[in-house]
Amino acid sequence: MATSDSNGRVIFDCEALSRAIAHNKYMYGVVLEAHQQKQLVVVPATTIIEAVHAKTNRDSLNWLLSRLEVAPVTHQIATDASDMLIKAKLHGHEYALDAVVCAVALAHPRCYFNNIHFRS
């Protein structure tokens, strides 16, 4: 998919990805509109693991992933996510994946997450 930093990027967390896979009208529309606007929809690699389960429609997942940028969870992303949790005095798996989503959003220029604009 063509990208355009001037148009921004959208990041998906587990809930957004799960809803898009299930063809939720709103989230599915976000993907289609982003594609038409030449915007990237970014999803951390770990979010795919979190969202997929035995009943996941694999055809829908594969179609969706072909339109998303899967962001790797690098050493820097992991460190940034850990630092966020330490600063927030949080710990554990219930916060870890959300911290990764935030770290990925902060690492991508002009990234949008739930209508909040993060600037790098």
What pLDDT score was predicted for residue 81?
Answer: 96
CATH of the domain at 77: 3.40.50.1010
Domain of 105 in residue numbering reads as 5-118
Dist CA 46 CA 72 (whole Å): 8
Q: What is the DSSP string of 58-97?
A: HHHHHHHHTTSEEE---HHHHHHHHHHHHHTT--SHHHHH
Residues 108/11, Cβ–Cβ less than 8 Å: yes
Per-residue pLDDT of the chain (120 residues; tens, 9 = 90+): 222 334 578 889 999 999 999 999 998 888 888 888 888 899 999 999 999 999 999 999 999 999 999 999 999 999 999 999 999 999 988 899 999 999 998 888 766 554 444 443
Phi-psi region of 8 (alpha: psi -120 to 50; beta: other; left: phi over 0): left
Residues 41/19, Cβ–Cβ less than 8 Å: no
Domain count, the chain: 1
- pTM assigned to the model: 0.81
Residue 28, CA atoms < 13 Å, CB-side half-sphere: 9
What pLDDT score was predicted for residue 93?
Answer: 87
Here the tokens at position 6 are 């001037």
